Amino acid sequence: MTATNETQFLSDLATNETAVITKIKGYGAFRKRIREMGFVRGTTVKVIKKAPLQDPIEYELMGYRMSLRTSEAQLIEIMNVDDFNAENNHMYNDISCTEDVKQLKKNTGKTIQVALVGNPNCGKTSIFNQITGKHERVGNYSGVTVGAKTAHFNVQDYTIELTDLPGTYSISEYSPEELFVRKHLSEELPDVVINVVDASNLERNLFLTTQLIDMNIRVIIALNMYDELQEKGDKFDYQLFSCMIGIPVVPTVAAKAKGIGTLFDKVIDVFEETETMRHIHIFYGEELNASIQRIKVAVKKHHEINDSLHSQLVAIKLLGDDKQFIQHIQSFANSGEIIDIAHEESQRLEKTFNTKTETLITDAKYAFIRGALKETYTPASAQQEPKGYKADTILTNKWLGIPLFLLFMWAMFQLTFSLGSYPMEWIENGVAALRLLTQQNMPEGMLRDLLVDGIIGGVGGVIVFLPNILILFFCISLMEDTGYMARAAFIMDKIMHAIGLHGKSFIPMLMGFGCNVPAVMATRTLDGKKDRLLTILIIPLMSCSARLPVYVLFISAFFVHYQSLILLSLYLSGILLAALMAIMFKKLFFKKADVPFVMELPPYRIPTLRSIGSHTWNKSVQYLTKMGTIILVASVLLWALGYFSPPTPLRGACQSTESLPKGEVEVALSPPEGGRGASYLYRLGHFIEPAIAPLGFDWRMGISLVTGMFAKEIVVSSMGVLYRSGDEIETSSHNLQAKLQQQRHETGARKGEKVFTPLLAYSFMLFILLYFPCVATLAAIRHEVGLRWAIFSAVYTTALAWVVAYIVYNGGAIFL
């Protein structure tokens, strides 16, 4: 970058160019977030590359990488590194080690409440898993933990109540996670807070530490991923650093369980007050400190506020114009004087420095961090490109990024079919043997029919797809743990932005390929309410693993030579329709400005077998649990509806199935002894058949769709019951495939024609892809955004499914 007298912006830099930030323009959420991410005066930034679609742009600063859109980069002023150094000889503030006289009350109980706090992707949940033995989701991208998890375990003579809080860069008002963490720390008052800090990104991670210092709570720093710092050749005197900031520091490597025991021994020392600790105040400058002190004096006069919140925190949050915090303070009686003083001081400071007070506070915090690191941290003399980012040369390449992403998706689906076919056949043989054993050793009657037709036929017809689902989850877990999931968001941001979504919305959408429920919950990591709601509305269009058994069944039966391509087309159809619906919803419901694209790109890491294995195991347990609950109940109910008949005959005075056409007798699912007329199931199927007849669906397909509203896997078990012949029950996937291929219309104008053709099969799979989210997903949507949007989601997805299936089936019939 060459020197120039003209103002330059971050967007002006070319690839591999470096500059120093001098000023942040803009207002509101963007300015607040960008500064908390480290974009402050004096920070050196390097351009790594542009996304394959030329937007966003990847930058490196403070030892980590993140991405910004060009429009945001145009709001950041920069300067040549040499020019900046010449103009700024001194830029670090001193550290004030003033002791705070306020003493923390010692808890004399035997239970210690501990909270894990840290930036996304710093290893909090890995520490939680190591010490508790739980297997919570650990992913190498921002925002895996979307709610608090709590576990209990014993250390020495104490019971530790450990809470893993959501990952957050700050405890301001920017996102629901930040508010949740701040509320937990302020109201739950944990005895000790473990601040997990990524040792390879000290400067950025320690910003949150400075906010914890302002809260005057007992903190221990877990210096996680310490091995990465050592491998780079950096030197960090963490013991001196601990002395300077008054907080114990314990190096850890959570992935290898190193330092975890020492960390919780230190927790007990801090709790028992055998560990020497002192509370320091960050030096914010003479003017700002004077304003803070004036507000603190007013706070200490208000006993209710002073008893619940530290006066230093109150002063800083009020000066920083934290609206949520201001509203909280206003909820206290007689708090008007404090608010007025803070407003006066804020105006005075902004007039003096000609900049926002929150900017002064953020700059001072980073000056504090740099001052401490200047004395304790020495980077390796030969600075090389971090090895954790070398794969980006290929994976986010301008020409290769998108093709490689599509290739990975195709490979995932190809593995799902090819590798999953072997264990699938073993399970099929086991289910068939169990069915035969039951038939041979039980007398005829309703109980045997229930076991063979209802339970084994229903549950057994779905459980055979367990290997396919596990392979899918294994591949998704691999993308998450390596860090590739964040790159997918980086690659797709320009497309996502065009449809009105943030690039980070692509992460919950990809998670939706596994299960829509955690994907809906993962939208909590999105910063804007508009982005959250819009993403939630289109997540049900992402093809979850519950739909996979249906796809495997029909693709194996009707698309033998194009299995992976047909499966890929279904997933891409879901993404395409989600994009179209997002554009429509944006124009109808959301017309506000977009949230800026600020997202960390974590280094690639080799996932541990334990992490991927535990994730896959947990999903298998969840799937098997669903087999024994929802699908079991639905299968038994379906069998009962087909086994029993109402006393009222189906037609006129007909009192038995004898007057029904022969073909309809076979499908009426009456009891073997007959005499009761058509079953409840037959009646229900013919009641809804007019609504689906334009799609080419028969009544049995309609029944399968109704039962699939509870869980999509039930569609397969329903077909196993409905498309049987006589006493046969299709527990084998291959037998059911053959039955579907041979099924013919037995009555009406299409009598004798095959029910299923490749066109109808594809249309049916599209309907399964799009219609009615399962009950669990609707419950998650209701929990996140309310009942009104849950109902809307159920209605619009079903209407969309009908329209798409109609167009594909009838349009395809014209051309084919």
Tell me the average pLDDT across 224-236. Answer: 90
pLDDT for 32 beyond 90: no
Per-residue pLDDT tens for 410-456? 888 788 778 888 888 888 788 888 888 988 888 888 888 888 877 88
pLDDT for 810 beyond 90: yes
Q: Could you tell me if 451 and 511 are in contact, meaning their C-beta atoms sit under 8 angstroms apart?
A: no
Q: Where are the beta strands (DSSP E) in 530-584?
A: none
CA atoms within 13 A on the CB side of 252: 32
Structure confidence at residue 744 (pLDDT): 80
Pairing mode of beta strands 192-198, 219-224: parallel
Give the amino acid at 671.
P
Q: Could you tell me if 806 and 692 are in contact, meaning their C-beta atoms sit under 8 angstroms apart?
A: no
Decide which of 3 and 127 is more confident: 127
Beta-bridge mates of residue 236: 377
Per-residue pLDDT tens for 689-746? 899 999 999 888 998 998 888 778 888 878 877 776 444 444 455 678 888 888 887 7
Structure confidence at residue 774 (pLDDT): 85
pLDDT for 470 beyond 50: yes
What are the structure tokens assigned to 454, written together? 């209802």
pLDDT for 662 beyond 60: no
Confidence of residue 555 (pLDDT cuts 50, 70, 90): very high
CB atoms within 10 A of CB 620: 15
What are the structure tokens assigned to 169, written together? 């860069």
Instruction: Note if the bond before 56 is cis, omega within 30 degrees.
Output: yes
Structure confidence at residue 724 (pLDDT): 64
Name residues whose C-beta falls within 8 Å of residue 766's C-beta, 6 or more positions apart in sequence. Answer: 570, 573, 801, 804, 805, 808
Q: Please, is 374 exposed, middle or buried when counting C-beta atoms within 10 Å of its C-beta (0-12, 13-18, 19+)?
A: exposed
- Name the least confident of 27-31, 99-103, 407-411: 99-103
Q: Is 130 helix (H, G, I), strand (E, B) or coil?
A: helix
Decide which of 724 and 262 is more confident: 262
Give me the helix-helix angle, 357-376 and 311-319, nearest 10°: 120
Beta-bridge mates of residue 8: 78
- Whole-number Cα distances in Å, 717 to 366, 437, 518: 59, 20, 25
Q: Does pTM surpass 0.75?
A: no
- Whole-number Cα distances in Å, 148 to 164, 167, 215, 483: 5, 10, 20, 23
Pairing mode of beta strands 111-118, 192-198: parallel
Structure confidence at residue 769 (pLDDT): 96
Name residues whose C-beta falls within 8 Å of residue 211's C-beta, 6 or more positions apart in sequence. Answer: 170, 171, 365
Pairing mode of beta strands 158-164, 111-118: parallel
CA atoms within 13 A on the CB side of 563: 22
Q: How far is CA 303 from the centre of its chain?
A: 41
State how far the Cα of 299 lies from the Cα of 315, in Å rounded to an integer: 8
Q: Could you tell me if 178 and 207 are in contact, meaning their C-beta atoms sit under 8 angstroms apart?
A: no
Structure confidence at residue 675 (pLDDT): 39
CA atoms within 13 A on the CB side of 466: 23
State the Cα angle at 718 between 648 and 676, rounded to 5°.
20
Structure confidence at residue 26 (pLDDT): 66
Q: How far is CA 409 from the centre of its chain?
A: 19
Q: How far is CA 233 from the centre of its chain?
A: 34
What are the structure tokens assigned to 197, written together? 């800090």
The whole-chain average pLDDT of the chain stands at: 81
- Name the least confident of 18-32, 548-562, 800-814: 18-32
The pLDDT > 70 percentage for the chain reads 85
CB atoms within 10 A of CB 596: 22
Per-residue pLDDT tens for 513-532? 878 877 887 787 676 778 88
What are the structure tokens assigned to 560, written together? 């033998």
The values of phi and psi at residue 56, to 5°, are -80, -170
Structure confidence at residue 28 (pLDDT): 59
State how far the Cα of 10 lies from the Cα of 707, in Å rounded to an integer: 55
Confidence of residue 267 (pLDDT cuts 50, 70, 90): very high
Decide which of 206 and 813 is more confident: 206
Q: Name which of 375, 283, 238 is nearest 95 in CA terms.
A: 283
What are the structure tokens assigned to 774, written together? 């399962």
CB atoms within 10 A of CB 686: 16
Confidence of residue 29 (pLDDT cuts 50, 70, 90): low
Structure confidence at residue 104 (pLDDT): 34
Backbone φ/ψ region at 477: left (φ over 0), alpha (ψ -120 to 50), beta: alpha
What are the structure tokens assigned to 614, written together? 């535990």
What are the structure tokens assigned to 698, written together? 């028969």
Structure confidence at residue 179 (pLDDT): 80
- Name the least confident of 9-13, 287-291, 401-405, 598-602: 598-602
Give the amino acid at 147.
G
The values of phi and psi at residue 259, to 5°, are 85, 0
Q: Name which of 141, 50, 14, 10 is nearest 494 in CA terms.
A: 50
SS3 per residue for 402-466: HHHHHHHHHHHHHHHHHCCHHHHHHHHHHHHHHHHHHHHHCCCCHHHHHHHHHHHHHHHHHHCCH
State how far the Cα of 501 lies from the Cα of 505, in Å rounded to an integer: 6
Report CA Rg, the chain.
Answer: 31
Give the amino acid at 769.
L
Per-residue pLDDT tens for 270-326? 988 887 667 788 888 899 999 999 999 999 888 888 877 888 889 999 998 888 889
Residue identified by tokens 């900017």 is 359
Q: Please, is 601 exposed, middle or buried when counting C-beta atoms within 10 Å of its C-beta (0-12, 13-18, 19+)?
A: buried
